[in-house]
Amino acid sequence: MSGPVSAQAIHVGSDLDIVRIRKVVREHAVAAGLSLVDQTKLVTAASELARNTLVHGGGGEVTVSTEGDERGTTIRLVFADRGPGIDDVDKALTDGFTTNSALGLGLGGARRLVHEFHIDTEPGRGTTVRIGFHAPNRRGR
């Protein structure tokens, strides 16, 4: 695959949308020249966070974009929902903390898989998670 991959916004309303997000994120990862391990890490993190958007946020929107500057290429993902928000972010990031019967590793695990992780939430106002993943070396143009 060649050429830049433009920013894409994907609505998250069902399990199938998570499948689609994984596909789009993988395309960005391949285009940015990420290794197979890095591709897998980024796609897995995207899958976790998109599922959070769906399950906890009641659906929302995911934006995927690839940015390049003098330091290299970064893939940026934004997961936004208008759900109930998170009461205690530190607690939510703790491994093993879960509000349903899931493993409780999603949020903290996703943070470990990526290079930049920022969470913006307020009870009653929804949650926005922004992540960034750096491509190891800039490709010539």
Partner 1 sequence: MQDINVSVAEFLDHHGDEIVDAWQRRTFFAGRTGGDCRAVLNGVAEVVLAGRPEDPTAAGFDAIRDLLGEIAMDRIRRGETAAQTAVTLHDLKPPVVELWTSSRDGDDALPGALRLSTALDTLRLVAMELVGGESADLVEERQQLLELSTPVIRMWDGILAVPLIGTLDSARTQATMEGLLQAIVDQQARVAILDITGVSTVDTAVAQHLLRTVMAARLMGAKCVISGIRPQIAQTMVQLGIDLGDVTTRATLADALAYGLRQIGLVVAAADNH
Residues in the site for partner 1, rule: CB under 8 A? 15-16, 18-20, 22-23, 26, 36-37, 39-41, 43-44, 47-48, 51, 95, 102-103, 105-106, 108-110, 112-113
The tokens of 44 are what? 């897995």
Cβ–Cβ under 8 Å, residues 119 and 85: no
Least distance CB 23 / partner 1 (angstroms) = 8
Q: Which is nearer to partner 1, 68 or 119 (CB)?
A: 119
Least distance CB 72 / partner 1 (angstroms) = 21
**CA distance linking residue 134 with residue 101, whole number of Å:** 33
Least distance CB 15 / partner 1 (angstroms) = 5
Inter-helix orientation angle 36-55/106-113, to 10°: 150
Q: Which candidate, 19, 14, 68, 71, places its Cα nearest to that of 46?
A: 19
Cβ–Cβ under 8 Å, residues 26 and 75: no
Q: Which is nearer to partner 1, 26 or 130 (CB)?
A: 26
Least distance CB 24 / partner 1 (angstroms) = 12
Q: Which is nearer to partner 1, 84 or 108 (CB)?
A: 108
- 9 alpha carbon, distance to own chain's centre: 12
